[in-house]
Structure 1
Amino acid sequence: MAEHVLALLSRPSREAPGDPGAPVYRFVDPDAAHLTVLDLGVTRGDGIFETLSVNHGRAQALEHHLSRFARSAAMLELPAPDADAWRETILAVVASLDPAREAFVKTVLTRGIEYGDRPTGWAYGAYSPSFESARTEGLAVVLLDRGYRHDVERTSPWLLAGAKTLSYAINRAAVREAVRRGADDVVFVSSDGIVLEGPTSTVVYRRGDALLSPGTGLGILDGTTQANVFRWAESLGMSTAFELTTPDLLRSADAAWLVSSVRLAAPIRAIDGEPLPVDAAFTARMNGWLAALDD
């Protein structure tokens, strides 16, 4: 099996020009050059992406990721992704990777070459690094002000809050700031004091027999892993809900996690240097269930 795989889509959107007789995708050498320096994904960060976890040879939450991909495209007014073409390509990439190893597939759609009329699309698959330490020992996080009010999605839709765009420079800068403060990761807070999300993750926390996550309509991503964690909790008879979360509510939780497609559930062990309880057994059960998902 290949260590990593790259597939280029011939027509990532039915709305854009393309060769209707060409194969849906073609595998290419992932170590060779394929992207022009004029692509707007490179020069402007004008594009979207999704990252799917692959466990036991299965792409997890595939339909949820495809739906979120389409939603992000609509927010950026990109040509709508051809869901059938992307699904076929993703499954082909997954089939090229060793099913015995944890892996991921990243899908990318850009606006294409500047002044052109054809988007660029590709799916890249590779084996995941080990996240065992994060899953078992947990993460120390810092709270950082995102600079927007919690209702930014409603008041300023042009800021694209809630879209999964290629413009991740701020998210990467936030993680570097966390490291400078002696932490591992970040939980963003709105300028009016509402907990939002991590740079690459969703916040989930437990209070009694309930699993909770910051409320909807906050300009944060619709978490695919959070949705599956809620499904798991409900199968155990726990209640689940979204609520408007303050830092004090998060600090008072019985346990909390940053959940994401590839890292899965990483417990938060400290917030701004203050310890938070880590429920190792509960976390292990959660991650075991996530890793075994069929979809």
Structure 2
Amino acid sequence: MTVVFLITPQDRADAGLDFDALLTPVHSDAAALSVFDAGAARGDGVFETIGVNAGSARKPGPHLARLAASARIMDLPEPHTEQWMHAIKRVVGLMDPHRGGVIRLVITRGTPQSSPTCWITGQESPADVREREDGVSVVLLDRGWPIDIAERAPWMLAGAKTLSYAPNMAALREANRRGADDVVFTSLEGYALEGPTSSLIIRIGRRLVTPTSGDGNLPGTTQQELFDWAEHNGFSTQSRRVRADEVRQADAAWLVSSVRLVVPITAVDGHLMQRDAALSARMNDHLLTLG
């Protein structure tokens, strides 16, 4: 099942709006986007992906906050939080509550003659995600950025979740060519960053560590959920710069995201990793109970 709504965007200051009247349902096979839309022509836009389980969107608030932050970086109008939250609830209400799913929020710059184009989609996802148990092998790939890219070159939009995902998808194809499943990007200085569609977490003893989002990484919503849980379950947490060698030497490592959730890393550049199956299962169980 697929649900699609175009959203007529409103200013954040507007109040008392009929949000339903600003949602236009669209058949999933219908034409809805101009070929001149900047999102299609240039990848000029931002998006968020939210997991759905047990009939509820998982923590939509942090995703909307990150969508607004990406819009600010891109000089796009900030989304009206209440309007988008209403749209999320409408989409969830039309999805099968007994199946998992994915909600996608998109804002583009539109066409030269129009305001930004906004839409929301909901799609069912497989009940079982193989990688949660089987894990993934990764390769370290140089992103070609210095660690201070966000400060040195803000026009590179580091830290914004943009529609320009061609390099990320190219990196995944390169990983496949090298016989691996996924990627951990590295900086020019050899620091580990993030995956093309995920955040990185490593375990060193009883401490969970993630690369800091201030170095061009997206602030991970799922990573933050896990850190909140970990701090109440006997772990300390830390956000800091992580050397690539630390990933290889970690007691365990994961890629985490809103859809796949917690995926253990089984190998880095062919080097077999230690795995913590029990902790992986606990973290996934926790995330699957969140609404």
| Structures share fold, TM-score greater than 0.5 | yes
For 2:247 and 2:189, the matched residues in 1 are separated by 16
| Structure 1 CA distance for aligned equivalents of residues 138 and 221 of structure 2 | 21
What is the TM-score of this pair, normalised by structure 2? 0.96
2:105 alignment partner, SS class = strand
Q: Return the offset for 1:116.
A: 2.1
Match of 2:220 in 1: 223
Read off the aligned partner of 1:42 and give its amino acid letter.
A
The DSSP-based 3-state class of the residue aligned with 2:130 is helix
SS in 2 for 1:78: coil
Aligned-partner residue type, residue 158 of structure 1: W
Show structure 2 runs of 5+ residues with no match.
none
Moved more, 276-285 or 142-151: 276-285
Deviation, structure 1 residue 22: 7.9
Structure 1 position 13, deviation (Å) = 4.5
Tell me if the contact between 2:159 and 2:213 (Cα under 8 Å) persists in the aligned partners.
Answer: no
How many pairs are equivalent? 289
Structure 1: which 5+ runs fail to align?
none
Q: Is the 8 A contact 2:199 2:257 kept in 1?
A: yes
Instruction: Note the C-alpha offset of 1:58.
Output: 1.0
Q: Name the structure 2 match of 1:258.
A: 255
Distance, in Å, in 2 between the alignment partners of 1:250 and 1:208 is 13
Runs of 4+ residues deviating >6 angstroms: 19-22
Q: Which amino acid aligns with 1:39?
A: D
2:254 is aligned with what amino acid?
W
Supply the AA of the counterpart residue of 2:93.
A
- The answer to whether residue 207 in structure 2 is matched with residue 210 in structure 1 is yes
Worse-superposed segment, 232-241 or 21-30: 21-30
Task: Find out whether 1:62 has 2:60 as its counterpart.
Answer: yes
Aligned residue in 2 for 1:52: 50
8 Å CA contact 1:225, 1:264 repeated in 2: yes
CA distance in 1, matches of 2:242, 2:205: 16
Give the structure 1 partner of residue 105 of structure 2: 107
The Cα shift of 1:26 comes to 2.2
- Where 1:94 maps in the other structure, the secondary structure is helix
The C-alpha deviation readout for 1:47-98, integer Å capped at 9, x for no partner, is: 0000000011111121100000000000010111111111111110011101
Aligned residue runs from structure 1 range 1-295, under 5 A: 3-11=1-9, 13-14=11-12, 23-113=21-111, 115-129=112-126, 132-294=129-291
Counterpart AA for 1:6: V
Query: How far did 1:133 drift?
Result: 1.8
Amino acid at match of 1:252: Q
